[in-house]
Structures are given as C-alpha cells and as structure tokens.
Structure 1
C-alpha cells in the first residue's frame, strides 16, 4: 500500500519548523496535536488500508492514492488508543488533521514509512467509556490503521446528504494558513455538519478544455471523470491517461458548488467569454446527467479591487457569462447563482488575489446561511464555520 502527498495538492509543504504569522506576530503552538512516531507490537491490532472498517472520503484511485483536496478516512474504534501508518511516498513533514467525534481538529506533521499514535491515554473523551464506539476522522492518506489489541474498528455511519465542491486554487485554499483546511470549501462542508463531502479542487485548473497553467491539456470537466488531478506529479505517475473515476459512486450527490473563472480569465489563458459559457454549460449538463436530483450553485469569482476615489470597488470575472448560464437553466429550477459581491472587502484578499483566512471564513459563513435559508437544510451539529478548531486571537492581551 503506498501513499502520496497528504491532503491533496499542497499540504505537504507545511512543516513543523514553519512559522505561521497572524497580524504580523508569530503564532504560538501552530500545530496543536503534534504527535510522535511509535513502534507497533503485540499490544496493537492492525487493519490494512483496504479493510472494510476504514471508509475513504473524497477522491481516491484503486491503489488508495488521492491527489485532490482534503482526502480523508473515517473509522469507528473502541478502546482508548489508535495509530495510523503512512506509506513510502508520503512527503517529509506532511501535515494531517484529525479529530474524534466533533471535538476540536488537531494538526500533526508526519513522514513516510512511519506509524504515529493519534489517540492515547492523554485523550479526553469526557464520560465516554472505552467500550463505546468513537468515530475517528483524518484528512490524510494512509497505509494502515491500528487499534488496541483488545479493541476493534467498525464501519462508521454514513450521512444521508452529500456535497461536492468543484473549483481551482481559491476552493483548494492556496495560500491559506492550513491550505485546504483553511479554504472556504472545507469550512463550508464541515460547517454543514452531518454531510458526506468531496472537494474536487486544484490550483491552476481551468474550466474550458484546453491547455492551461503547467501544461494542463484538459479542463475541470474532463478531470471530473479522473481519479488524479492535473498536476505534474500526477502526470508523471499516470501519464496522459489517468485512471477513470466513478462519478456516480455509491451515493448520489445532493448539492454541487462550482467556483471557476479565475484561471480561465488570467494571462496567458484568457479564454473568450463565449467559450467559457459553453464550457460551463457542458459541465453542468454532465453533472445533471450523472446526478439528476442534485442542486447546482454557481459561486461567482471576483477579479481585482480597484480604487475609485475614497472607495475600493470589486470586479467579477465572467459576470455576464455567469448570469447568462443561470438564465439558461432558470426554468429547470436546479441551478442557482451566488454572487460574492459585497461579502468580501479588498483587505480580505491577499496580494495574489486569494482570500485571507478571514476572507475564507466570511465566504463560508454566507454560503452556510444560503443553504439554511434556500435549501432549508439544518446545520448540524452547530454550523460552525471554523469546523471545531479553536480560534487563535482569543487572548485579551493580544
């Protein structure tokens, strides 16, 4: 069993030695939950990655390798200890996020050919007994999972609804503090609570099926049917014919969110509006044919902020095309348009035109309320846009 880069495309670049700055000051304890390598012995029972008790979340290929944003696993365990082993292709210092139940997310760095213990005597489960099944979730790629020798893993429960986010670097969380786990897409799906979710997002991907950044010869519509992303590492592994992905899966998707346009619009791609419009129609028709009962939400993509006198005025890429796409499906009733204008300010966007952590939180928060008000979904358990992670600026002396 082999493992490739953790958390999709960029989390491997986050190392324990890195410095995280917030408002110009160094963040204390930037990796809460940091754990260490252990050696498995007779006190442990090991389940290989293909064991039915280990549920894979997000996009994976047949070798249990994932290249997209925030792949993960879930399992239910008894006892009070749990460890995960990582395969030979794991990048040194790769960042993983993990939690038990709906407790706070923890972060740890891991590396190849090693086993790390994530649950132990130090874990606080309140009044929950060792014999009670507890759901462990990790956004990561693995080689095996181990529990105490006198305990066991169970297949975790599956939620009734499923959501998929499709997008480029903004949805993938590029330049966010914790990359994908800082993105609006992750904050949104985690804030929904009890839903299954997949993030089909990759930095630099275009919507239109043509050569894009990094020599990508296809757009997101083509890659939606593939198990690997458009990146150079995946192409070096699989060539120009990556493994097909079962887009129907074993559960129907209830909601798609699409945020595209930034890469198509930029130099050197500069896709004409007409081509972009038809590419978007093809993508939505494909999604609808595969999941005919799903709602599709078009999330607009901002351009640059321009100073107009004493104001900063936002622009939107392909605004006319987005509205025309929505109008095209108006009578069918399954496509909605979500404008981000007025939600973000110029200082919510970093110099490379991607949201800051606060910008991602703002967008996720508004999208959660859209789902609650328009689709009438309950936000369970709490609808928290920071997905159970302790917010950092919590000191009165800060």
Structure 2
C-alpha cells in the first residue's frame, strides 16, 4: 500500500500549535479538543493516495498536493467506523489541523509526519449511523493519504452550485483570531452562507501593490493571486522567483469575488502612494474579470484603525476615496459593487495586535452576508453545520440571580455571573 508524500507549508493555524488561547486574559481550558492518536496501517485498512478521485481539494494546492493560502482542506465521504489520514514528509512539527464529521463541531489535533486516526469505533460522530452509511469528513489542512476499514470505501462528496473567492491579507485570513483562519470573517462569511464552495486567497502582510511588504511577503497580490502558492517566506524558499501558476481554467469559476486589500499598503512602513494603489486595484479587478468574466466583484472599504479623541474613539479608515474611485471606474459595467464597512466595527472589536477580535470578525461576516442576500439575491443555506468554533456562551443555571445573591452558587471564572458573585461574597456592592 503506497501513500503519496506531500509537503506541508505554513498555514494560518501553524502558530497555534504551541500557543495559549486567551479569553479576555483568561486561559481557555482544553483549547484543542479532539487530539488524534497515531496508528499503524495494516491489512485491516484500505488506503487511498492523495490523488484519489474521491478526495475533493478545497482552496489552492500545488502539483505535489501541498496546501497554501488560508484554510485549504479536503472533503470526502466515507463508510465504515474508522478513518485515518497520513501526513507527508514536509509536514511541520506539531502543526494544528482542524477536522469534523458532517456538520458537527470542529475538533483540533497536532500532527507531524505520520498517520493519525481521526475516527474510531464508538466515536460520538458515528452515533445513529450504520456501518455502510456515508459520513462526510472535512479537514482544513493538507494530507498524504487516507485510510478506511478494509471493507469500507471513500465516496466523492457532493459540491454546492456556487463558488466564492475571497482575496485579502491578514484581516481575511484571521491572524491573531482564536482559531485564526477558522475564526476569520472570510471563513465566517463563506462558510456561513452554507451553500457555496469557497477559497480564501489571503495571506498576512501582503500588499495589493506588487512589492515586498513586512519582509516576509515576497510579492504583492496583483502578482501573487495568479500563483498557486502564497507570498510567504517558506513559499519563496520553495519556489524562489518561479512559483507555480494557478490554473484558473482547471478549476471552477467563482460566482462571487470579495476583495479586501490595502491595509498593508497604507501602513506607515509602506505608505503606497494614492495613485499607485488606485492603478494596482484597477489592474486587480481587470484580471479577476478576465479569468472569471461572469463573476460579481465586491470591493470592501478598509476600516483602518481607531484612535482616542477626548472621551471616545474615532474610526480612521484608509484609502477611502481610492477604493470608491475604483468602484466608480467599473460602475457602469455592472459587475463591480461597493461594500462600505464604516461603522460596523467599534474600537473594542479590534485586538491589541490591530486585528479584529472573534466578535469583530463575526460582525463583518454577518453584515456582509446580509448585504449579499439583499443586494445580490443569494439565499442562506446553512441548516446546522458549525461555522464559528467554540464561541457559545450562555447561562443554564436555574434561578440565576437568586442563587448568586443568596451566596449559594460557586461559579466557574468563565461563567458570566462569576464577577458579580465575587463582588457579593466579598461584601462589595
């Protein structure tokens, strides 16, 4: 049994492998539920190589089945009660991967070059399913091969009719969000629609204009977007000045393209002149329209930063007139739209690192979803699959106020009533 080897290049999640997830300064208990165990493949397994027709690849992948950009992954159906995935020679040490069965909760596991079992007999994900029933498995990272029980099989997963492409930088790829790419507004928007295929071609630090920004990004998006790989240092080390071209004709055309670029161009370190930014943006839209002539293109305004003014905070967006000029340039053609983000975010929706918090990402995604429904007539199709991971907070304690004020409850520090209870029990009012 042969497994195709494949290289793993940096994803947005890589930094999380050894990180601590904090919620308002408090460490999150069990931040990575779902660790998979290593397993040896023997005659009780049936193996599939990485190029198996049953495996659907999501996002951009190169010819060696190396995954790139934000939240790439695989999706397929399987029968039986066990499932294992192998990871190739160049898999990063202890990289964090996200996976789920069907529309259940995302789980996370650190993996290295080896084979790991993600589904085993007795798994809760198999409740109410028979051995021969087809379950859907999705994993947002790259693989070397897939194994199921020897008398089970893989099945090609059905695809949705529409496709969304998001082009952006660290804001769209979820840098510094709790689960980075899986907590980004780009993912929340596309996955939140529930009935579309999607690719998030976004990378932290990249500029729209074709120049090196922040040291780690080799080229700007007007160049890099037509390439299989991202603009990061590992991709540059792998490909140098000759990255693989992305074959647009070999993949499904996008029906909707969302562009959110320019925050890095306008940063103090780069300060791209207004005219250069405008001309590059027009070039970007022209190229998108050339490869996908039937796609609707949405230009998102840039929310910028918030600065303190007196006793409040004031939003300072960037390249406002430039993005509007680009929209006006294409307005008569009918396929370009303008989505104004001003006022959606408040200062506390931005983290100390200058990126949206999880709630900030959700706010942007939710507004954009409603805009897409109202302006473009797209219907929401999510009927239960999880989108934003592990952000459910609620109180299910009976007589909530009475138990707190009687001093009879002992709440977790994560409970919304914990601070109030602490004040009461310590005589603070």
TM-score normalized with structure 1 length:
0.95
Larger Rg: 2
Distance across 1 between alignment mates of 2:29 and 2:118? 21
Distance across 2 between alignment mates of 1:378 and 1:37? 42
Matched with 1:204 is: 205
Shift of 1:212: 2.4
Please give the secondary structure, in 2, of the residue aligned with 1:393.
coil
Distance across 2 between alignment mates of 1:189 and 1:110? 26
Shift of 1:217: 5.0
CA-atom RMSD, angstroms?
Answer: 1.7
Matched with 2:407 is: none
Matched with 1:142 is: 143
Shift of 1:203: 0.8
Matched with 2:16 is: 14
RCO comparison, higher one (Cα < 8 Å, 6+): 1
Contact 1:256–1:297 (CA under 8 A) maintained in structure 2: yes
Distance across 2 between alignment mates of 1:157 and 1:217? 37
Select between 374-383 and 309-318 the one with higher mean Cα deviation. 374-383
Contact 2:8–2:88 (CA under 8 A) maintained in structure 1: no
Shift of 1:392: 4.4
Please give the secondary structure, in 1, of the residue aligned with 2:177.
coil
Distance change in 2, residues 1:52/1:88 (3 Å): same
Matched with 2:181 is: 180
Matched with 1:331 is: 332
Distance across 2 between alignment mates of 1:387 and 1:193? 9
Shift of 1:352: 2.5
Matched with 1:391 is: 391
Q: Deviations over 1:295-330 (max 9, x none)?
A: 111112222212223321111110000111111111
Contact 1:248–1:291 (CA under 8 A) maintained in structure 2: no
Select between 275-284 and 357-366 the one with higher mean Cα deviation. 357-366
Shift of 1:278: 0.7
Contact 1:221–1:283 (CA under 8 A) maintained in structure 2: yes
Distance across 2 between alignment mates of 1:265 and 1:2? 41
Contact 1:304–1:315 (CA under 8 A) maintained in structure 2: yes
Distance across 1 between alignment mates of 2:291 and 2:72? 22
Distance across 2 between alignment mates of 1:92 and 1:236? 18
1:46 aligns with 2:47: yes
Alignment map for 1:145-160 (pairs within 5 Å) = 145-160=146-161
Please give the secondary structure, in 1, of the residue aligned with 2:125.
coil
Distance across 2 between alignment mates of 1:212 and 1:276? 14
Distance across 2 between alignment mates of 1:383 and 1:299? 28
Please give the secondary structure, in 1, of the residue aligned with 2:332.
coil
Contact 1:55–1:155 (CA under 8 A) maintained in structure 2: yes
Matched with 1:116 is: 116
Select between 302-311 and 386-395 the one with higher mean Cα deviation. 386-395
Shift of 1:63: 0.6
Matched with 1:313 is: 314
Matched with 2:349 is: 348
Shift of 1:382: 3.5
Contact 2:59–2:68 (CA under 8 A) maintained in structure 1: no
Distance across 2 between alignment mates of 1:341 and 1:247? 33
Task: Flag structure 2 segments of 5+ consecutive residues without an equivalent.
Answer: 397-410, 416-429
Q: How many residues align?
A: 394
